[in-house]
Amino acid sequence: MSAPTTARWTPGERLAGRAPLPDAPEGAPVVGVLALQGDVLEHLRALRRCGALATEVRTAAGLAQVDALVLPGGESTTIGKLLERFELMQPIRDRIAAGMPTFGTCAGMILLSDELEQDRPQPLIGGLHVRTRRNAYGRQLDSFDTRIEVAGIDGGPMDVAFIRAPRVEQVLADEVEVLAEVEGFPVIVRQDRLLAAAFHPEVTGDDRLHAAFVASVLPATL
């Protein structure tokens, strides 16, 4: 992909007094962050720290310019409705079917799931062969931090933040790999070029999961 022009500051960072990040190295993958709703800014910064050329995606034209996509945390029902309103749902499904690396965190995991453990339907991208439960650990007041071991991630346990977090209730296909669990339930899963985490890896300062995803966009594999 040809890299779109991006500023070294993400909007709002200059006013907040945050230092700009260095330019991405030559040949860096272009990784989009879906920017309709949710925790977009911190994902952009984490991806840039990991050497990606990170950019916001709001349109089908913007989606066509990226090598990979991050679906951030937020409100999954709202994001799903906005995907339909902005006619992004089917283009994302088509890119995923064509092999685009995609990383869903929290609400992003919900959106990627084939099935949800709930009575009311909501718009989903699908493609990840799991059944997921929204708010599996409770409401906002029940959010928590913990440490988990992640298969394939060196450097010891990761500190992770579960904020109104989902979890995988059931793996529906053999090709889904469970990379980490909490209380016996999968919280990181991988299926081919799809990666999903139930928590918010962008808020803790530990970039190893983002770095592994960026590496997976390159010829090297996660």
| Catalytic sites, residue numbers | 106, 200, 202
Q: Which residues pair with 57 in a beta bridge?
A: 34
Q: How many CB atoms lie within 10 A of CB 131?
A: 14
Q: Are 8 and 20 in contact (CB under 8 A)?
A: yes
Residue 152 CA to residue 1 CA, distance in Å, equals 28
Residue 198 CA to residue 200 CA, distance in Å, equals 7
Burial class (CB in 10 A: 0-12, 13-18, 19+), 62: middle
Question: How far from the centroid of its chain's Cα atoms is residue 208's Cα?
Answer: 13
Residue 198 CA to residue 194 CA, distance in Å, equals 13
Please, what is the angle between helix 208-217 and helix 40-49, to 10°? 70
Q: Which long-range contacts (CB under 8 A, 24 or more apart) does 113-117 make?
A: 113/168, 113/196, 114/172, 115/172, 117/169
